């Protein structure tokens, strides 16, 4: 696994590593991009009057999973559609893990394809739901950008920058870091080594690095698509547990750049003794990628994981166990991403407790939504105001900036900013076609030469085994039909 993506990789750790507590600070040596011209500033109370109109609709309704995708752990951008989160496979007993080390990107999606920050999201959605059109969606957003707006209306201290761009009827919201490939500096804790040790990629998505889900729901009179990373999923009673042999095969598989995370201590020790302390995987390419390789292979049996199985994972030192409410702290994501399961793994200087419990937090999230009705109505009012503002502007774009507890600044884009999706994908999204002829954003079947399309165009629906699947539609397919591509309703 690449050092640049997940430090030393899932399972690559040494139990003898000492624990060195250090002060953590949110620092960055990467200079922030320049600010654009200030258009206006907004305070929370500026939304009070408009918010009254959304008191009844400021709740998430009709939530459904539209699509999912996994980024593969490769130096060039490559995806599996549909995706699948890693499975929660806790280790027995107490286990000592090293602190996080290595390089981790602040925004994994942006780092994978920095040219167009929401390209993967739209491609995944259109691959599995070709009927989607910009005319039917008001907001397309990453949960991080919406989460920061939630924190603004809640009055929480949070600095952020968000790019907003209109595309047809849809308005895109996406976080902006100092650089798309900015890395977390001064990293510490166990937020990466713990899930690497306690979760396992299923064979169908082996070689993955991260998993992302795209939800569709209504909120405040808006039709929304929201993308969120999924930490893991909790297997149901009928799901088979990964066998030791399958984990060993994952470790040895040449196609899997991430080692397996073993559930069994004996295998875990074998892994730790046999793995080198650093990854041999290639770092990200030094030249900007011009295409995303997509494996769209429903025949492999990659069935969607139910939203009721999604799990959010956090780690904390044992001394914080009775001093903070982690569920309350993480409520913006739990609500926006509709995550019903939550767990906090506590450790004493790197040694994690044996009894790690998964909590069902759905009722608490629902209760919070009702209690926060006025703040969420302000969020709805804010989204409506921003959508109206960006649609009125000739450039079709604005940037949202906030420092600490300050007001929300609405600015023009500052610095060098690319479109959130490529022109070709924009044409497909706005046009609403299942397939188009055009330069297709350089999206080809992985490891397949560019086809000769005469005018340079290709069909975007990439199939398996070198077949073009433009005549197939898996919208109504399921595991029962084997994703035949021919189901209709």
User: pLDDT (tens digit, 9 = 90+) per residue, 328-375?
Assistant: 999 999 999 999 999 999 999 899 988 899 999 999 999 999 999 999
Burial of 65 (0-12, 13-18, 19+ CB in 10 A): middle
**Has residue 478 got a pLDDT over 50?**
no
**Has residue 160 got a pLDDT over 70?**
yes
Q: At which residue do the structure tokens 């890395």 appear? A: 183
Does residue 193 contact residue 102 with C-beta atoms inside 8 Å?
Answer: no
How far apart are alpha carbons 70 and 47 in whole angstroms? Answer: 38
Please provide the average confidence, as pLDDT, over all residues in the chain.
76
DSSP 8-state code for residue 331: H
Percent of the chain with pLDDT over 70: 68
* pLDDT (mean) for 314-332: 90
The residues pairing with 139 across neighbouring beta strands, listed in sequence order, are 171, 224
* pLDDT (mean) for 153-180: 91
Residue partners of 75: CB distance under 8 A and separation at least 6: 2, 281, 282, 283, 284, 285
For strands 208-219 and 222-229, give the pairing: antiparallel
**Has residue 121 got a pLDDT over 60?**
yes
CB atoms within 10 A of CB 467: 10
How far apart are alpha carbons 252 and 394 in whole angstroms? Answer: 54
Query: Could you give phi then psi for residue 209, rounded to 5 degrees?
Result: -110, -50
Q: Which helix (H) or strand (E) holds 387?
A: helix 373-392
Q: What is the pLDDT of residue 242?
A: 54
pLDDT in tens, 396-419: 999 999 999 999 999 999 888 889
Q: At which residue do the structure tokens 């929201």 appear? A: 226
Confidence band, pLDDT 50/70/90 cuts, at residue 181: low
Q: What is the pLDDT of residue 178?
A: 60
Q: Per mean pLDDT, which range of 67-71, 142-146, 178-182, 253-257 is the poorest?
A: 253-257
How far apart are alpha carbons 451 and 459 in whole angstroms? Answer: 10
Nearest CA to 297 out of 57, 176, 160, 128 is that of: 128
- Measured at the CA of 188, the angle between CA 174 and CA 213, to 5 degrees, comes to 35
* pLDDT (mean) for 104-117: 77
How far apart are alpha carbons 341 and 334 in whole angstroms? Answer: 9
Does residue 132 contact residue 126 with C-beta atoms inside 8 Å?
Answer: yes
Q: What is the pLDDT of residue 454?
A: 32
Nearest CA to 81 out of 250, 240, 304, 242 is that of: 304
How far apart are alpha carbons 170 and 121 in whole angstroms? Answer: 14
The residues pairing with 175 across neighbouring beta strands, listed in sequence order, are 162
How far apart are alpha carbons 458 and 451 in whole angstroms? Answer: 7
Selected residue with higher pLDDT from 128 and 101 = 128
pLDDT winner (highest mean) among 27-41, 119-133, 168-182: 119-133
pLDDT in tens, 76-106: 889 999 999 999 999 999 999 988 777 777 7
DSSP 8-state code for residue 435: S
Q: What is the pLDDT of residue 31?
A: 79
Sign of torsion over alpha carbons 17, 20, 26, 31 = negative
The residues pairing with 72 across neighbouring beta strands, listed in sequence order, are 208
Token duo for residue 53:
């109109």
How far apart are alpha carbons 188 and 184 in whole angstroms? Answer: 10
- What's the half-sphere exposure (Cβ side, CA atoms, 13 Å) at 453? 17
Q: At which residue do the structure tokens 């870091």 appear? A: 177
Query: Could you give phi then psi for residue 432, rounded to 5 degrees?
Result: 80, 10
* pLDDT (mean) for 282-289: 48
């Amino acid at each position: 696994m690449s050092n640049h993506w997940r430090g030393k990789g899932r399972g690559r750790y040494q139990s003898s590593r000492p624990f060195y507590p250090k002060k953590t600070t949110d620092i960055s040596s990467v200079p922030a991009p320049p600010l654009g011209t200030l258009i206006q500033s907004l305070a929370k109370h500026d939304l009070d009057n408009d918010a009254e109109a959304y008191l009844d609709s400021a709740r998430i309704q009709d939530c459904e999973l539209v699509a999912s995708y996994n980024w593969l752990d490769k130096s060039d951008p490559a995806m599996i559609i549909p995706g699948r989160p890693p499975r929660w496979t806790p280790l027995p007993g107490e286990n000592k893990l090293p602190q996080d080390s290595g390089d981790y990107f602040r925004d994994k999606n942006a780092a994978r394809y920095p040219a167009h920050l929401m390209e993967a999201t739209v491609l995944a959605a259109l691959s599995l739901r070709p009927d989607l059109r910009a005319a039917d969606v008001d907001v397309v957003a990453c949960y991080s950008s919406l989460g920061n707006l939630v924190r603004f209306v809640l009055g929480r201290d949070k600095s952020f920058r968000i790019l907003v761009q209109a595309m047809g009827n849809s308005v895109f919201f996406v976080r902006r870091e100092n650089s798309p490939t900015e890395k977390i500096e001064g990293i510490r804790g166990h937020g990466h080594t713990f899930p690497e040790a306690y979760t396992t990629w299923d064979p169908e998505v082996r070689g993955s690095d991260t998993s992302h889900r795209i939800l569709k729901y209504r909120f405040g009179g808006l039709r929304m698509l929201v993308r969120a990373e999924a930490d893991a999923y909790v297997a149901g009673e009928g799901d088979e547990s990964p066998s030791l042999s399958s984990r060993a095969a994952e470790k040895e598989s040449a196609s899997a750049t991430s080692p397996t995370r073993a559930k069994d201590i004996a295998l875990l020790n074998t892994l730790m003794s046999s793995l080198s302390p650093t990854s041999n995987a290639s770092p990200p390419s030094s030249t900007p990628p011009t295409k995303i390789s997509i494996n769209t292979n429903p025949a492999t049996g990659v069935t969607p994981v139910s939203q009721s199985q999604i799990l959010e994972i956090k780690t904390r030192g044992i001394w914080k166990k009775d001093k903070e409410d982690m569920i309350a702290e993480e409520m913006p994501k739990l609500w926006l991403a509709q995550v019903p399961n939550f767990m906090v793994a506590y450790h004493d200087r790197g040694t994690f407790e044996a009894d790690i419990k998964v909590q069902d937090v759905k009722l608490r999230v629902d209760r919070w939504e009702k209690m926060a009705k006025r703040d969420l109505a302000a969020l709805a009012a804010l989204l409506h105001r921003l959508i109206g503002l960006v649609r009125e502007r000739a450039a079709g774009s604005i940037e949202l900036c906030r420092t600490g507890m300050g007001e929300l600044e609405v600015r023009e884009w500052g610095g060098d900013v690319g479109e959130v999706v490529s022109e070709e994908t924009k044409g497909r999204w706005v046009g609403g076609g299942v397939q188009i002829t055009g330069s297709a954003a350089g999206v080809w079947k992985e490891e397949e030469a560019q086809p000769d399309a005469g005018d340079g165009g290709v069909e975007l629906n990439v199939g398996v085994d070198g077949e073009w699947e433009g005549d197939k539609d898996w919208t109504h397919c399921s595991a029962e039909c084997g994703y035949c591509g021919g189901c209709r309703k």
